[in-house]
């Protein structure tokens, strides 16, 4: 449902909030479904109760960035703006911003 809606709405990115502990299953599933539908260029970011030790594996799978509890809203907004500007300028994956 998430991937179908994202493709139909031509979204700039998908942001998922996960507090249930199922991030190691659901986030890779969403990435796999995006790739299956030739939509792997839509960036996926996430936040919620995601332990620091899980973050490297999730980013290795293709999640662009993770925002754990107590992340300042301004940091999230700044990251999303830079991500979308980078995509619109067509500079490609290599120029994707790092979280500040
Ligand atoms: C409020 C709350 C609830 C409410 C939710 C109400 C609602 N409609 O939202 C209710 C009472 C329903 C609830 C239920 C449950 N809860 Co609860 N809940 C919380 C609590 C106290 C606060 C969550 C919250 O809203 N925080 C405020 C927001 C602003 O912070 P945040 O979610 O961390 O988000 C920040 C970042 O993570 C990030 N972020 C989050 N999402 C996203 C998404 C994107 C795209 C981006 C960019 C950033 C981002 O940005 C935010 C700002 O920094 C937490 C404890 C806690 N301290 O987090 C437990 C907590 C999440 N709950 C927990 C549990 C276990 C449950 C239940 C399973 C309990 C039960 N046995 O029924 C159920 C699950 C219900 C369900 N269907 O999923 C556990 C999860 C444990 C875990 N994953 O390891 C927690 C951590 C409590 C604990 N310490 O045990 N819960």
pLDDT for res 15:
98
Domain 2-95 bears CATH identifier 3.40.50.300: no
| pTM check: above 0.85 | yes
Residue 79 Cβ inside 6 Å of ligand 1? The answer reads no
Is the pLDDT confidence value at 94 over 80?
no
Cα(55) to ligand 1 centroid in Å equals: 18
What is the C-alpha separation between 84 and 100, in angstroms, rounded?
Answer: 15
pLDDT for res 97:
66
Q: How confident is the model at residue 93 (pLDDT cuts 50, 70, 90)?
A: low
Q: Where are the domains of the chain?
A: 2-95
Locate 39 and state its tokens.
């939509």
pLDDT for res 88:
80
Sheet of 65-67, strand order: 14-18, 44-48, 65-67
Question: What does the pLDDT look like over 64-86, one tens digit per residue?
Answer: 999 999 999 999 999 999 999 98
């Amino acid at each position: 449902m998430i991937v179908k809606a994202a493709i139909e709405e031509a979204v700039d990115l998908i942001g998922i909030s996960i507090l249930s502990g199922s991030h190691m299953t659901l986030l890779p599933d969403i990435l796999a479904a995006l790739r299956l539908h030739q939509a792997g260029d839509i960036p996926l970011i996430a936040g919620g109760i995601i332990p620091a030790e899980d973050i490297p594996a999730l980013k290795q799978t293709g999640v662009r960035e993770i925002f754990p509890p107590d992340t300042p809203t301004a940091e999230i907004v700044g990251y999303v703006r830079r991500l979308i500007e980078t995509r619109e300028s067509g500079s490609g994956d290599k120029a994707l911003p790092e979280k500040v």
